[in-house]
Structure 1
Amino acid sequence: MDVQKDLEKVIELTREQNKWRRVEAINLIASENVMSPLAESLYMSDFMSRYAEGKPYKRFYQGTKYVDEIEVLAMNLMNEITGSKFSDLRPTSGTLANAAVFRILAEPGDKALIAPVQAGAHVSHTKFGTLGALGIEHIEMPYDKENMNVDVDKAVKMIEEVKPKFVVLGGSLYLFPHPTKELAPHVHSVGAKLVYDAAHVYGLMVGKVWSNPLDEGADFLNVSTHKTFPGPQGGAIFSNDENEFKKVSRTIFPWFVSNHHLHRLPSTAITALEMKVHGQEYAAQIVRNSKALAESLASLGFNVIGEHLGYTKSHQVAVDVRKLGGGTFVAKTLESANIIVNKNLLPYDPPEAVNDPSGIRIGVQEMTRYGMKEGEMEEIATLMKQILMEKKDIQEIKRKVIELRSRFLEVKFALNYDLSKYNSKVIPMIM
């Protein structure tokens, strides 16, 4: 066995990944972000090697006294910035947060109403994902093409007729808020619960540029902690309904999670503090940047969807690229020049077009955290035009991308703390 060769390969691949995505690429994946240096430092801790099955102070293992404290502190901080009474950080993803809530609210064979796929419903909301795995029937609410959203009037009638166990709002390709306030009274009138999946927009919500579903009648708020909220990969559940929350919280372990990746907790707490201090400024700049990018792309001849609605109110921009070769071709071409986006179904695409959809989805939250503003969004739009419309040399554009990125390597909207005072023998991974 050539251990040395494989060792060097592992190290080299990791180094190349860090160099490419942290130094040389413009990252525009809508479901990604970057932690602050402080949050990343605390991510690398002894917590990553430990188990803490159960809830704080009610564990099935010993050796968890500091886990209990950091988990309670992180939950309290997250409740504070979310405006919630109860939280659970044990789901290791937004999808598992959905699964835990869905499983309690319905039994196999029961019905759930979800936002239409055209309005951005995540696969976990559907028969192809978590709902299907749980045996819950998914029924899509009607779609309003003009507003690119749930058709409220028709949805109200459907809620009254179907009487589902729960209704799901929130989404994945997600440009405009779903109608929580309008639907919540009707959901509750038939004895159902309203679940809002804010995985993508949680940071915008905390930053006060997106309405808080809990204030508008949602019973559960499920999130990811690594999209517009720039923390470690993970999920969380929030609620103000103590009885329903307790039912869900009792089932996360052992149904869906054993150990819940404890090294997430300090980094999540740090990110909550950063959002408490900088969240409103950060979220506002994200939305300014997404609008600026959409407007710049449109002015250069790209078919940006949602023009009549102002293109976007979130961190995302959606572009129809059928005339430029389709979503797969365009995403791969942009990647060859170090601009990273993803192909994506657009509202008028059939499900079978998933491998080569009409569109691309762009998210500006990571580049915003690196300090890019409206002017840089215009530069990115110009680079995209040079690649896709003017067919300029890819290597030439790649050099321009690397030069632009080289001006934005420091994470903004972050807290700083000098860790050098700590003994490296006690906290070796921090140092």
Structure 2
Amino acid sequence: MREFEQVFSIIEEHHRLMASSLPLIASENVTSMAVRRCYTSDLGHRYAMGEIGERAYEGCEYIDEIERKAVELTKRLFNAEHANVRPISGTVANIAVYHALTSCGDSIFSLPVECGGHTSHDDTARIRCLNVHFLPFDSERFNIDIDAASRMIREVKPRLIVLGASVFLFPHPVKEIVEIAAEVGANVIYDASHVLGLIAGKQFQDPVKEGADVVTASTHKTFFGPQRAIILCKSELAEKIDYAVMPCVVSNHHLNTLAGYVIACLEMLEFGESYAKQTVRNAKRLAERLYELGMKVVGEAEGFTESHQVVIDVDDGEKAAKTLEKAGIITNRCLLPWSEGKSAGIRIGVQEVTRLGMKGGEMEYIAELISKALDGIDVRSEVVELSKQFNTVKYTFEESHAYSFI
């Protein structure tokens, strides 16, 4: 019984930590209470293998309604020809696409991790026995070098080109890459995991409109949903994609969080544009103030950021991230193109604090707290005081405390 109680005690401590901190991890967000209510429903006990209306399990009448609504809302949000809502993570979604569109030994292009690429664009692809080539990168512009990339793609003639990133400050040259891909018979996949909410809110590039064959995305970063994923694709690829998802990489697809995703879609349709606008404004103001305070903010030549992310070069990212954590400022270290394998950067995301209602003035204050903390000044009490003022989930139908434990 003591261990039983300890588990809940540990969870409560975690909730208290987050409620007294500034959560600035770029790959995280906080869901509304309406989304969280879905997690604890009976749906979490059930399976729904097979297609809507043709399940291998009985008792799926209402589950079919939920999944049908998830597909309809996804297609509406992103103006997609086809949507698959079954992947349970962004990496699983990418694995499904590799399975659907490539064969062992094919070549693909993607960004290396030190230039912002995700591990599922490299190591995970190699599990499929794919030959991974890296897109050339312009470090000053912090974006793909389209001229060099054009030459390499025409020379290698890959089967797949992966765009999108984990450190993602600026829109990628989707239209240009799509044109080159057509010349060599390649498909273009765009991993929108980090910017899905910004796309839904019409504040970032639209990869579907710009011609990407497939868009994959996790649903819990700038999007309002639980931790799962979606795949959007052109209709001619639908059958291949759907088969690659189920039964190839997904069996049970976590129906309780699927219901939560439906709620998140409805929140995005109602509040997504205003949220996305404020998120990008906040990121820009944070970056500008950090720069004014003398910090090396990446992407200066392009205006620092067009997304929810800000990246600062601090030489020793691990040390800086630990220092900020002690102050209650939660970030993560990252590689940079010039860091030679060393985590020299700090990646900051403003999407969660934006959902808590913070705006430009708070971004300026957070920049000052970051600067002070990295200079060795104790700002923990100031962080706690600021977090107390912003602990309610906004941009939702029913506002609630962000870190209360059910």
Q: Establish whether TM, by shorter chain, passes 0.5.
A: yes
Q: After superposition, what is the alpha-carbon deviation per residue over 1:139-192, rounded to whole angstroms, capped at 9, x for unaligned?
A: 012122332211111211222111111111000011111100111011012111
Which residue identity is paired with 1:361? R
2:396 to 401, 414, 423: 414
Q: Quote the Cα distance in structure 2 between the aligned partners of 1:362 and 1:392.
A: 20
CA distance in 1, matches of 2:96, 2:168: 23
1:368 to 354, 365, 370: 354
Distance 1:163 1:141 in 2: 13
For 2:352 and 2:155, how far apart are their aligned partners in 1? 43
Partner Cα distance (1:272, 1:104) in 2: 26
Match of 1:12 in 2: 9
CA–CA distance in structure 2, aligned partners of residues 122 and 137 of structure 1 = 16
Aligned to 1:46: 42
Match of 1:298 in 2: 291
Is the counterpart of residue 237 in structure 1 residue 231 in structure 2?
A: yes
Provide the rounded CA distance (Å) in 2 between the counterparts of 1:142 and 1:19.
44
Tell me, what secondary structure is at the counterpart of 2:251? coil
Give how far 1:116 is off: 4.6
Q: Per-residue CA shift, 1:245-267, capped at 9, x if unaligned? A: 21110121222111011111221
Matched, 1:272 2:265: yes
Which of residues 145, 149, 152 is equivalent to 1:155?
149
1:399-410 mapped onto 2 (5 Å cutoff)? 399-410=381-392
Is the partner of 1:215 in helix, strand or coil? coil
Work out whether residues 279 and 354 of structure 2, in 8 Å CA contact, stay in contact via their aligned partners in 1: yes
User: Equivalences for 1:167-182 in 2 at 5 Å?
Assistant: 167-182=161-176
Residue number among 377, 388, 397 corresponding to 2:363 in the alignment: 377
State the distance in 1 between where 2:158 and 2:261 align.
34
- Residue 305 (structure 2) aligns with: 312
Q: Determine what percentage of the aligned residue pairs are the same residue.
A: 44
Moved more, 246-255 or 202-211: 246-255
Pick one of 333, 340, 344 that aligns with 1:343.
Answer: 333
Contact residue 119 and residue 174 of structure 1 kept, 8 A: no
**2:254 is the alignment partner of 1:261:** yes
Counterpart residue number, 1:193: 187
Q: C-alpha displacement at 1:58, in angstroms?
A: 2.0
Cα separation, 2, equivalents of 1:337 and 1:115: 33
Of 118, 125, 131, the residue aligned with 2:121 is 125
Displacement of 1:119: 3.6
Aligned to 2:79: 83
Residue 112 of structure 1 contacts residue 165 of structure 1 at CA under 8 Å; is this kept in 2?
yes
TM value normalised by structure 1: 0.91
8 Å Cα contact 1:117/1:140 also seen in 2: no
Moved more, 78-87 or 116-125: 116-125
Q: Residues 259-294 of structure 1: CA distance to partner in whole angstroms, max 9, x if unpaired?
A: 011111221111111111111100010000001111
Counterpart-to-counterpart distance in 1, 2:392 and 2:283: 20
Q: Which whole-Å deviations, capped at 9, do the CAs of 1:22-59 have from their partners, x for residues lacking one?
A: x2111000000011111111222110111111221121
Match of 2:243 among 250, 267, 275: 250
Figure out how many residues of one structure are paired with residues of the other and give that number: 401
After superposition, the C-alpha distances for 1:188-223 in whole angstroms (9 at most, x for unaligned) are 121111000000001001111111101111000000
Q: Structure 2: 5+ residue runs without aligned partners?
A: 401-405
Kept in 2: contact 1:32–1:227 (CA 8 A): yes
Matched residue of 2:393: which SS? coil
AA aligned to 1:331 is A
Q: Are the counterparts in 2 of residues 118 and 143 from structure 1 also a CA contact under 8 Å?
A: no
**Conserved 8 A contact 1:38-1:417:** no
Which secondary structure does the structure 2 equivalent of 1:216 belong to?
coil
- The whole-number CA distance in structure 1 between the counterparts of 2:27 and 2:107 is 28
Query: Corresponding residue for 2:403?
Result: none
Output the amino acid matched with 1:235: A
Deviations 1:47-78 (A, max 9, x none): 01111112211211111111111001011111
What are the residue-to-residue correspondences of 1:65-144 with 2, within 5 Å? 65-126=61-122, 128=123, 130-144=124-138
Q: Kindly provide the amino acid, as one letter, of the partner of residue 203 in structure 1.
A: G
Q: Residue 68 of structure 1 aligns to a residue in which SS? A: helix
CA distance in 2, matches of 1:281, 1:119: 30
State the 1:118 CA deviation: 4.4
> Is the 2:140–2:299 contact (alpha carbons within 8 Å) kept by the matching residues of 1?
no
- For residues 278 and 381 of structure 1, what CA distance do their matches in structure 2 show? 27
CA distance in 2, matches of 1:298, 1:146: 16
Which ranges of structure 1 fall in alignment gaps of 5 or more residues?
Answer: 419-430
User: What secondary structure sits across from 1:318 in the alignment?
Assistant: strand
Cα contact 1:170–1:178 (8 A) shared by 2:
yes
- Once residues 259 and 116 of structure 1 are traced to their aligned partners in structure 2, the CA distance between those partners, rounded to angstroms, is 32
Distance in 1 of aligned mates of 2:333 and 2:185:
39
Contact 1:204 1:314 in 2 (8 A): yes
Query: What amino acid sits opposite 1:62 in the alignment?
Result: E
Work out the CA distance in 2 between the residues paired with 1:57 and 1:264: 20
TM-fit CA distance, 1:417: 9.4
Q: CA deviation at 1:416?
A: 2.6
